């Protein structure tokens, strides 16, 4: 009796324990040197001269102003970009119109343009030699080297974050729920708040967290449009550079520790939102189980 040949799949890379352990160990070592070591150094250097020096640096007028300016910029830029991202994602995924692909490309532009180039572009638009410069100067409206320019530059570099999280998810969900709500007499706003928003809230918050982290840490574009005026237009990243150039190394690390803490909380919030169903996990889940997406609509009806 002839035996039936069995077709065995070729072994994959990493199937052997020694290969798998080597790869995991290599990733951990690289991650420790590239991510963990800088965070540890920031903490060590920030408190190198004691708590009093650290506290004096954090509570100094220039540092407090840099923190306040950074927070104010985030409070303006993040809500505006959130509204833009939701509106853009809703328009792209729920409607058919001429120029949809152009809008998709336009949303991706900030990711393909260097932030410094974006800052220089704002100089040519709102600067004294720019397109609107003479008009703004005539009416004594200050855009560059002031809060409006910092906010505009921050909004530019963070514009895609919310939209990029929402568009794949809303494409996977389709239009059936919104069309059903509209056919039952729901208005546009009622459809959005009762059907669309409950299905995208975690992905939207995920994009907001990433957007906020980028606004607070943005350096390139803001450094061009702010003018680096001490105590007036310096955000926290610019203030850190200024302290370092003034040979105040401990002060620079002390200010940098604030951004490091923000980064850690951002990672924690990111992981928590992913567990709630935000990010790529939600997109895959929605595509594989469309019925799960319909549950909020059933409750709302």
End-to-end CA distance of the chain: 66
Q: Write down the pLDDT at residue 279.
A: 57
Quick one: pLDDT at residue 290?
Answer: 41
User: What's the pLDDT at 296?
Assistant: 39
**Ranges of the chain with pLDDT below 50:** 281-301
CA gap 286, 284 in Å, rounded: 5
pLDDT at 301: 36
Distances (CA, A) of 61 to 65, 125, 225, 239, 253: 6, 32, 22, 12, 17
Q: With residue 93 as reference, give the H or E element that holds it.
A: helix 61-94
Q: Which of 212, 264, 213 is nearest to 43 (CA)?
A: 264
Rounded (10°) CA dihedral 278, 114, 42, 38? 80
Residues 261-274 pLDDT 10s: 888 888 888 888 77
Are 107 and 164 in contact by the 8 Å Cβ rule? The answer is yes
Query: What is the per-residue pLDDT across 60-80, written as a single tens digit (0 to 9) for each?
Result: 899 999 999 999 999 999 999
How distant is the alpha carbon of residue 265 from its chain centre? 13
What residue has token string 């609509």?
Answer: 297
């Amino acid at each position: 009796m002839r035996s039936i040949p069995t077709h065995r799949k070729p072994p994959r890379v990493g199937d052997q324990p020694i290969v798998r352990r080597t790869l995991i160990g290599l990733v951990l070592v690289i991650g420790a040197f590239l991510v963990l070591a800088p965070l540890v150094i920031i903490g060590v250097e920030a408190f190198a001269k004691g708590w009093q020096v650290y506290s004096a640096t954090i509570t100094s007028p220039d540092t407090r102003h840099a923190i306040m300016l950074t927070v104010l910029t985030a409070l303006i830029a993040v809500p505006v970009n959130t509204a833009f991202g939701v509106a853009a994602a809703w328009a792209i995924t729920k409607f058919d119109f001429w120029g949809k692909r152009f809008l998709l490309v336009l949303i991706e532009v900030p990711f393909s343009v260097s932030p410094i180039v974006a800052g220089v572009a704002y100089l040519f638009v709102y600067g004294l030699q720019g397109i609107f410069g003479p008009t703004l100067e005539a009416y004594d409206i200050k855009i560059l080297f002031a809060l409006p320019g910092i906010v505009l530059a921050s909004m530019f570099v963070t514009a895609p974050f919310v939209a990029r999280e929402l568009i794949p998810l809303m494409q996977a969900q389709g239009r059936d729920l919104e069309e059903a709500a509209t056919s039952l007499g729901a208005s546009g706003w009622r459809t959005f708040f009762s059907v669309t928003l409950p299905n995208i809230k975690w992905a939207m918050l995920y994009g907001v967290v990433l957007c906020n982290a980028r606004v607070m840490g943005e350096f390139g574009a803001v450094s061009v449009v702010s003018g680096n005026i001490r105590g007036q237009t310096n955000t926290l990243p610019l203030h850190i550079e200024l302290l370092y150039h003034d040979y105040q190394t401990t002060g620079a690390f002390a200010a940098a520790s604030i951004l490091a803490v923000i980064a850690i909380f951002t990672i924690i919030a990111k992981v928590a939102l992913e567990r709630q169903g935000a990010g790529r996990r939600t997109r895959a889940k929605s595509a594989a189980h469309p019925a799960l997406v319909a549950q909020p609509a059933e409750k709302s009806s």
